């Protein structure tokens, strides 16, 4: 079995030179040693731009019966840029259905995923992020009978459990002068370091097993 990941920068793989940024898709294969993971997630992509660049076509040429296609977007679908923006209840869902239908056409199993949360703490409270998009994914999963990994809910649970300060260790809080790629440091509540990628990859692997898609 091969797992294909369609997604954005939060799932993408990064070279060592870009450390410490790490996407959960980069780590997933380490947790599933008997499964091949093809991480096709790319930074800056939405459901719309991933399709327009022909990235799903590339997967379509390789995917086989019994494979899994993990579909996780949203971060860039919320963009105001017309070439990647989608509306959660219309074009976003319509695009997601293209991924679902493509996987099923070749006998593979689509899996819809909500995005990881943004770590937005204000006045001691973790704020909601991504608007209606996570719910749009849930509704579509129910409508099309597609397995759902609700990483948004699980990431919120984890970040709240860790608390405002401790949860920084999951995300891209980088001190100046430590990593060559970030000489001035970094403060980023969207992308993850290794610890965050590992945490979200573990949640994903467990969910896939709980859904009966992996042994």
Q: What residues are labeled active site?
A: 9, 184, 191
- Rounded to 5 degrees, φ, ψ at 23 are -90, 150
Residue 57 CB-density burial (10 A; 0-12 exposed, 13-18 middle, 19+ buried): exposed
Determine the 3-state secondary structure of 178 from DSSP.
coil
Cα separations in angstroms, 176 against 21, 23, 71, 208? 15, 21, 34, 38
Cα separations in angstroms, 53 against 45, 46, 57, 67? 9, 11, 9, 22
């Amino acid at each position: 079995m091969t797992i294909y990941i369609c997604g954005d920068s939060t799932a993408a793989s990064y070279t060592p030179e870009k450390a410490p940024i790490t996407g959960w898709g980069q780590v997933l294969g380490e947790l599933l040693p008997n499964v091949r993971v093809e991480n096709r997630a790319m930074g800056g992509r939405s459901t719309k731009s991933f399709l327009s660049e022909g990235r799903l076509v590339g997967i379509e040429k390789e995917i086989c019966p019994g494979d899994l296609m993990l579909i996780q977007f949203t971060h860039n679908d919320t963009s105001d840029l017309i070439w990647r923006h989608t509306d959660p209840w219309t074009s976003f869902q319509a695009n997601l259905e293209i991924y679902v239908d493509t996987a099923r056409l070749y006998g593979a199993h689509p899996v819809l995923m909500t995005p990881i949360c943004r770590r937005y703490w204000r006045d001691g409270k973790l704020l909601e992020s991504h608007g209606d998009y996570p719910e749009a994914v849930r509704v579509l999963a129910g409508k099309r009978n597609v397995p759902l990994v609700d990483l948004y809910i699980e990431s919120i649970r984890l970040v709240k459990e860790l608390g405002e300060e401790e949860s920084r260790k999951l995300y891209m809080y980088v001190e100046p002068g430590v990593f060559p790629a970030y000489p001035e440091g970094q403060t980023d509540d969207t992308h993850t370091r290794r610890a965050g990628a590992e945490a979200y990859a573990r949640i994903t692997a467990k969910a896939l097993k709980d859904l009966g898609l992996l042994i």
